[in-house]
Amino acid sequence: MYAYDEIDRTLVNERVSEFRDQVKRRLSGELTEDEFKILRLQNGVYLQLHAYMFRVAIPYGTLSAGQLRRLAHIARRYDRGYGHFTTRQNIQFNWIKLAELPDALADLAEVGIHAMQTSGNNMRNVTSDQWAGVAPGEIEDPRIWSELLRQHTTLHPEFSFLPRKFKIAITASDHDRAAIKIHDIGLRLVKNEKGETGFEVLVGGGLGRTPFIAKTIKHFVHGRDILSYVEAILRVYNQYGRRDNIYKARIKILVHELGIEKFSREVEDEWQHIRNSALQIDDSVIEDIRSRFTYPAYEKLPHMPDELRQAAADPEFEAWRKNSVFPHKIQGYSIVTISLKPTGGPPGDATAAQMDALADLAEKYSFGEIRVGHEQNLALPHVAKRDLPALWKALDKLGLATPNVNLITDIIACPGLDYCSLANARSIPIAQELTRRFANHELANLIGRLHINISGCINACGHHHVGHIGILGVEKNGEEVYQITIGGRADESAALGSLIGPGVKFDEVADVVEDIVEAYLALRERPEELFIDTVKRLGVEPFKERVYATR
Ligand code: HEM
Ligand code: SF4
C-alpha cells in the first residue's frame, strides 16, 4: 500500500471545500449548468440519463480495506446501495444527488480518495497492472512510477486543458494486464544492457470512434528521464492536437496524421530542451516513493499446505481455484481474482454489503489490501494458500465465487442505455443474457479463455474493439443493432477485432455468439488452441459463414 503524505491530504481537502462552494453556487442559481459543467467534470461528475453520475479514482487499482468500506458507505448513504467498477480502475455511482456530492467527497477525502481528473480534458487516473508488486517475474513494482506520474500530473496547470482526455497505463510484466497498447501513452518497464531500469514508451493507442493500437516511440527511456519524456510528448500534443474537432482531438489522431517518425522527431526536439531541467528525477524522489509502498510481513509457508491438498477433493473448490487463483511472487501465497460477473448480473457491480464483507475478508486473508483490474473484477493480492478453502467458502456465501475468471461469462460491458446518455443500445442486458446462456461451467471450461467485450456506442467504454468477441451496439432506423467483431485482444499482442458481417438484432446476439463458439469448437486443432489463436490461424471467414449461413 502507498502512504499519502501531508501535501496529498491538504490538496484533496482543499479541493473538497472548493467544490462545496461551486455546488452551492450552482444550487443557488448563481452558476448556470453550462458554467458549472467544466467545474463538475474536473471532479468526476457527469450528468447522465437519469441522474448525476460520480466517478471516483482508484490510483493503480490499489485499495485498503478501510477505503473499500468507505466506497460501500458512499454506495449506501448517497446512492442506491451499489457501485460499478469500470475498465479504468475507477468506480462509478449512478444515482448521486448534486446537493450531497460535497459530503460524499469529504467522506472519501478522509480515507485519501478523490475524484479529481476522472473526467474532463486532462490527464486521467494513471492505471497499472492489478497484480503490481505481487506478480512473479515483474521488473519492479510499476505503481512506484504510476505514483510519480500521479503526483506530477494532478492539477498540473499545463495539462488541465488538453485538447482531449489523456490516459497513461504502466506495466512491468511480460504479460500485459494493463492494456497499455490501447492508451494514449503506454509504458513498459524494461532493463537495458547495463541493468538500468527504464521504459519502452508507446504512444497513440486508443479506442472510440477511430481505434488505434499504440506504436513504440522509444525503446528505452531511463527512469530518471521519464517525466521529461512524457512531458515532451504532452507538450507536442498540447501544441498540435486538434481543438477544432472533438473527433480528431485525441493524440492517436495526431500520431496517425503526422506519422510516428515525424511525431517522434518533434518529441525528441522538445525533449532535448527539457530533459536536463528540474524534470530530471533525483534518485531520492524515487526512493521516497518506493519507501512509501509497504509490503506485508509474509510468513515462510509451504508451497503445498495440507489445507489445500485436502480441499482439492472438492470439485467445486477445484473449479474455482483453477480459474481464480494465480501464482504469487512469494512461495506459499496466491493472488485471488474475485469475479464481479455472477450469472445474470451486471458486470462490474458490487453491492455495499459485498464491499463491506470483502473489506473484512481482505483484512482476514490479504493483509487488508484489495485490487481493481480493468476487466471489472477485484483481486485479493496476498492470500496464504492454506487460507484458500476458507476464503472460497466465505466468497461463495457472498455470491462472489463464480468460477468464471477469464472464461466466456467474464464479460466486460459498459453501462449502455441503462444509464448512459450517449448510448445507442443496451449493453448490460446483452451481458446478462450471455452469462445465462453459458452458465454451465463445464461448457465454459471446455471453451477455455475467451473474452467478450460489449459497448453501447462507438465510444468504446466496454473495449469492444479488443474483445476476442466484440459486441458494439448501434442504432439503425430507431432499432438497436449489434455489430460483431472477432480477433481483438488487449494484452501484449494487442489487436483490433475484425467485423464479421452485418449487424444483428438484440434478440439474436446470444445465438450469434453461440454459433461462433460452436464454429470454434469444431475448428480448433486441439483443446489447448484458444479461440483467439484459432481466429488468428483461420481469419474471420469460417466464423462469418457459420453465423450468416442461416440468417
Ligand atoms: C456512463 C457514463 C459514461 C460516459 C458519458 C462516457 C463517455 C465516454 C466517451 C465520450 C468516450 C469516447 C472518448 C473518445 O473517443 O475520445 C469514452 C471512452 C471510454 N470510456 Fe467512457 N463513458 C462512460 C462510462 C464509462 C464506463 C462505465 C467505463 C468502463 C466500464 C468507461 C471507460 C471508457 C474507456 C475505457 C474508454 C475508451 C476509449 C479510449 O479512450 O481509448 N466509460 N467514454
Ligand atoms: S460506450 Fe457509449 S454507451 Fe457505453 S458507456 Fe461509453 S459512452 Fe455510454
Residue 324's contacts (CB-CB under 8 Å, 6 or more residues apart) are 336, 337, 338, 339, 401, 403, 405
146 Cβ closer than 6 Å to some ligand 1 atom = no
455 Cβ closer than 6 Å to some ligand 2 atom = yes
HSE, CB side, 13 Å, CA atoms: give it for residue 199: 26
- Calpha distance 331→345 (Å, rounded): 35
94 Cβ closer than 6 Å to some ligand 1 atom = no
Question: And the C-alpha cell for 326?
Answer: 494465480
Rounded to the nearest whole angstrom, what is the distance from the C-alpha of residue 545 to the centroid of ligand 1? 32
Look at the chain and count its residues.
Answer: 551
Classify residue 282 by its DSSP letter: P
Which pLDDT does position 12 carry in this prediction? Answer: 94
Q: Are 207 and 463 in contact (CB under 8 A)?
A: yes
- Calpha distance 125→147 (Å, rounded): 10
108 Cβ closer than 6 Å to some ligand 2 atom = no
427 Cβ closer than 6 Å to some ligand 1 atom = no
- Calpha distance 420→92 (Å, rounded): 12
Q: The whole model's pTM is what?
A: 0.95
Rounded to the nearest whole angstrom, what is the distance from the C-alpha of residue 5 to the centroid of ligand 1? 31
53 Cβ closer than 6 Å to some ligand 1 atom = yes
Q: Are 430 and 454 in contact (CB under 8 A)?
A: yes
Nearest CA-CA partner of 239 in 159, 125, 317: 159
460 Cβ closer than 6 Å to some ligand 1 atom = yes
Rounded to the nearest whole angstrom, what is the distance from the C-alpha of residue 408 to the centroid of ligand 2? 21
Q: Measured from the CA of 206, which atom of ligand 1 is nearest?
A: 41
Residue to probe by mutation, ligand 2, list 457, 463, 466, 474, most atoms within 8 Å of CB: 457
**One pLDDT digit (tens) per residue for the chain, 551 residues:** 888 888 989 999 999 999 999 999 999 999 999 999 999 999 999 988 888 999 999 999 999 999 999 999 999 999 999 999 999 999 999 999 999 999 999 999 999 999 999 999 999 999 999 999 999 999 999 999 999 999 999 999 988 899 999 999 999 999 999 999 999 999 999 999 999 999 999 999 999 999 999 999 999 999 999 999 999 999 999 999 999 999 999 999 999 999 999 999 999 999 999 999 999 999 999 999 999 999 999 999 999 999 999 999 999 999 999 999 999 999 999 999 999 999 999 999 999 999 999 999 999 999 999 999 999 999 999 999 999 999 999 999 999 999 999 999 999 999 999 999 999 999 999 999 999 999 999 999 999 999 999 999 999 999 999 999 999 999 999 999 999 999 999 999 999 999 999 999 999 999 999 999 999 999 999 999 999 999 999 999 999 999 999 88
For ligand 2, atom 6: residue with the closest CA: 461
Which pLDDT does position 50 carry in this prediction? Answer: 81
Rounded to the nearest whole angstrom, what is the distance from the C-alpha of residue 334 to the centroid of ligand 2? 35
Q: Measured from the CA of 249, which atom of ligand 1 is nearest?
A: 16
Q: Measured from the CA of 415, which atom of ligand 2 is nearest?
A: 5
Rounded to the nearest whole angstrom, what is the distance from the C-alpha of residue 459 to the centroid of ligand 1? 6
Which pLDDT does position 387 carry in this prediction? Answer: 98
Q: Measured from the CA of 84, which atom of ligand 1 is nearest?
A: 27
208 Cβ closer than 6 Å to some ligand 2 atom = no
Question: And the C-alpha cell for 427?
Answer: 449493453
